Amino acid sequence: MLTKRSNFLLVQIKTGQGPGWVIPLPLTVLDVTLASLHDCLAFWGDLFPNLISSKLGRDGTKNKPKPAELLALLIKLINEIRSYGSYELVRVEDEENRISIRLY
């Protein structure tokens, strides 16, 4: 629709004089993994509602969140992040350190 979807999230961390760290995160793999985990949690959560329960809502809140619902929201957020193609999400740098998160 807008641009092609981004497939990688690259986290770059550089502190001091060292070479720094580069952490590539394949978003396609993350997407599929989270979707599978969501399906598993939804299935087992429906089968054994008390076995898989979230710590949230322990006080008897009527709308107790299901882990699968929480995961669905996370998947929605990641899908949205991916839908803008290539861009730099965050870059913070000072005299010695630099952190950047970029999508490709």
Partner 1 sequence: MSQETMKILELLETGKITRQEALELINSLDAHRDPEGVSPAAAASAKRFLRVRVDGDKTKVNVNVPLNLIKVATQIADASMKWIPQDAHEQMKKQGIDLSKIDFDEIINLVDQGLSDGRLVDVETEDEIDGRIKVEVYVD
Applying CB under 8 A, the residues found at the interface with partner 1 are 1-2, 56-61, 63-65, 73, 76-77, 80-81, 83-84, 87-95
SS3 category, 33 = helix
Residues, the chain = 104
- Of 30 and 81, nearer to partner 1 (C-beta) is 81
Q: How far is the CB of 50 from partner 1 (least distance, A)?
A: 18
Q: Who contacts 42 (Cβ-Cβ below 8 Å, separation ≥6)? A: 66, 68
Q: How far is the CB of 53 from partner 1 (least distance, A)?
A: 12
